A and B are shown apart, each in its own frame.
Chain A
Amino acid sequence: MASIPRSRPAPPSIKLSLSDPVVRAIVFQVLVVGGVALLVWYLVSNTMANMEARKIASGFGFLNREAGFAISEHSIDYSPADSYFRALVVGVLNTLIVAILGIILATILGTIIGIGRLAKNWLISQICSVYIEVMRNLPLALQLVFWYYAVILENLPSAREAHNPLPGVFVSSRGIMVPVPANDPTYGWMLIACLIGIVGTVLLSRWAKARQAATGQQFPMLRAAAGLILGLPLLAWLAGGAPTVLDWPELRGFNFQGGGTLTPEFAALLIGLVTYTAAFVAEIVRSGILAVSHGQTEASSALGLKRGLTLRLVILPQALRVIIPPMISQYLNITKNSSLAVLIGYPDLVSIANTTLNQTGQAIEGIGIIMMVYLTVSLSIAAFGNWYNKRIALTER
């Protein structure tokens, strides 16, 4: 590599020498950028020529055409008469739903197992460690297929023989059906009220912190937050006439109609992602806790801090600093691994984009859309993680 710049002597008239590191750096960079640009141009021109020769359509015009296929799970209205664009949006939303729920649940389960791994009870710590080893050392694809086909589908009864553990709750191979509140505009207002509550809590906590720093007065933040986040939606509910009508699932014809459904595909994907990732989270949590030396706990109790306060003010902030960076990469993994949904028929972005590119023959656009969406989500999570990490790191003096 180093021989490349040397082989091109600079004109002697100008006082630039290749032994000058600055010049060498510039020449080297120009060459590399040029090489990369050349490669990209080569690939693009090949692609154009090939698509021309094989009469493959290009462009995103297909997005407005009728999709023609049905999607089993959609959080927005969708029918086969809708466009490919809408189908892809359904896919993106499905991916986001499973990723967000997966992140929350894997964090909870992983933390429990990570702490369990450190438990004094030998049996608990051994079970946790066996769990971690088994989960980490089997491919996720295998685990998902196993959960869906061997566990969920094999063991649940058909729709007509559904288990009915609670009134209105049915468990069958069609999924878990539960009664949900019937559609009412009040719920929209409750959601808005909840969001207002969250924003209010954030602002209030800033003010409270500033006041405590300035005057030393404490503010009952926990109670205030609960009041805002839970109380405001409750008020909205009362103001909306306190609707209590529930939408009950019932067996009509082939399927359950009404109510809310947790489908087997979604459940299998979520369980698979959560149980797999939790093993990694557990190891992160464990090493985070172990990273805080025992002296810290002793020191803080010597200062007279209570156990809860020690955990919240001394151990957690230090452990979190170790935990957060690898945790973010696990969150990214959950999001990316949700693409394995294609194996068990959950209509995530990849499986819908896959069907789309199959029917339109426009592979480049289809794969391009998949990559752009994942890249956006990944970079957002990474950016948020880095911001949070910096915020935590600032507490270091």
Chain B
Amino acid sequence: MKHLGKIAATAAIALGALAGTANAQQSTLDAVKAKGFVQCGVNTGLAGFSAPDSQGVWKGLDVDMCRGVAAAVFGDANKVRYTGLTAQQRFTALQSGEVDILARNTTWTLARDTSLGLDFVAVNFYDGQGFMVKRTLNVKSAKELNGATVCVQPGTTTELNLADYFRANRMQFRPVVIEKLEEVVAAYLAGRCDAYTTDASGLASTRSAQGANANQHIILPEIISKEPLGPAVRHGDNKWADIVRWTFNVMVEAEEMGLTSGNIDSKMNDPNPGVQRLVGKTGDMGKMLGLENNWSYNIIKQVGNYGESYDRNVKPIGLERGVNELWSKGGIMYAPPVR
């Protein structure tokens, strides 16, 4: 019995050491502060949104979302740990407390918002599903794709949208369903499919990756779905949701105000009251969120504004701003005022 007790105690300690424990009753902010980092669920590899580079450092628009939250909470954008998640794992990982934020190009839908125990807090990329075909196919519209073979990734809204679209237009198609992005693209390029369907952002990045051959592929004009992609947090922790939501809003607001990571130090004494609030000089905005007042300064200084993040991550994959441009410049990116 004595031995058993010892073994049980050892096992408990070992388990405790290996398994991070997070109390569900405790607020996420407190838990995050206690452990000293933000645990962020990201895509295992999607160029422009989250992918490790040659040195193994995570880069991307979603990654910057996580870095922004870390900058807001800790004043250090590097206090983030990333968990690469597949499409199946993402919701369980957030529900079970394995990650604090899910920033994994996830579409905000009613069903997900209500029935999966999570809350979407912002839209950091407006996307929509489209089709790409080879120029030699002489197809001008998705309506001409009757009988085509279509490459698609499984298990997401993409696959359902595809089937819906063809049914709605009384057309036939044959799917080729491959899980990994790189491979579904390889199948399309090899001529296994006539068309490749995914979010327009993905199509553009695939197209631009072809280098000199990019003009051999055309993206058809039809966008068959709305895909607002955004970060999500666990349902019921409003304080944490506020922090993530306003971290994103600050990044958009900063772009509107012309604040960048480069010029923010020189704008510390700018007379504009909006700028004064964003650099944390007035307004006690941080206090209201339960953070330091220089939280927004840290975000802008260390991560940059939304435009910077976009230019750094998404531009290189060949995607112009489009609807993700600021509302004042013809897009729909519009942040509620930080005041």
Contact = CB atoms under 8 A, between A and B. Distances in A.
B211 to A, nearest CB: 18
A354 B154 contact: yes
Nearest to B178: A345
Chain B interface size, as a band, is 35 or more
B186 A149 contact: yes
B146 interface: yes
Contacts of A254: 137, 145, 147-149, 194
**Which residue among B96, B175, B180 has the maximum number of chain A CB atoms within 10 Å of its CB?**
B175
A11 B187 CA distance: 73
B4 A4 contact: yes
Interface string A134-160: 000000000001000100011011110
A186 interface: no
A146 to B, nearest CB: 12
Interface string B169-187: 0000111111110011011
The secondary structure that dominates the B interface is: mixed
Contacts of B9: none
A154 B187 CA distance: 9
A174 B192 contact: yes
A379 B182 CA distance: 37
Contact of B177 (A54, A172, A253, A347): A347
Contacts of B175: 69-72
Interface in B1-25: 1, 3-4
Contacts, number: 116
Contacts of B116: 54, 361
A69 B159 contact: yes
Contacts of B160: 68-69, 359
Interface residues of A, number: 47
Contact of B154 (A55, A355, A363): A355
Contact of A351 (B147, B154, B194): B154
Interface in A321-355: 342-345, 347, 351, 354-355
Contacts of B186: 149, 153
A70 B162 contact: yes
A359 B156 CA distance: 7
A363 B176 contact: no
A19 interface: no
A283 interface: no
A181 interface: no
Interface stretch (B44-52, B87-95, B198-206, B289-297): B87-95
B192 A173 contact: yes
B149 A174 contact: yes
A254 B180 CA distance: 25
Contact of A173 (B88, B163, B167, B191): B191
B167 A358 contact: no
Interface of B: 1, 3-4, 87-88, 91-92, 95-96, 115-117, 137, 145-149, 154-156, 159-160, 162-164, 166-167, 173-180, 183-184, 186-187, 190-192, 194
Interface of A: 3-4, 7, 50, 53-57, 68-72, 80-81, 145, 149, 153-154, 156-159, 172-174, 252-255, 257, 264-265, 342-345, 347, 351, 354-355, 357-359, 361, 363
27 contacts: A7-B1, A50-B96, A57-B115, A68-B160, A68-B163, A69-B163, A70-B163, A71-B177, A72-B177, A80-B163, A80-B167, A81-B167, A149-B183, A149-B187, A156-B190, A156-B191, A252-B147, A253-B147, A257-B147, A345-B178, A347-B177, A351-B177, A354-B154, A358-B87, A358-B154, A358-B156, A361-B91
CB-based closest 6 A-B pairs: A358-B155, A153-B190, A158-B191, A345-B178, A80-B163, A54-B117
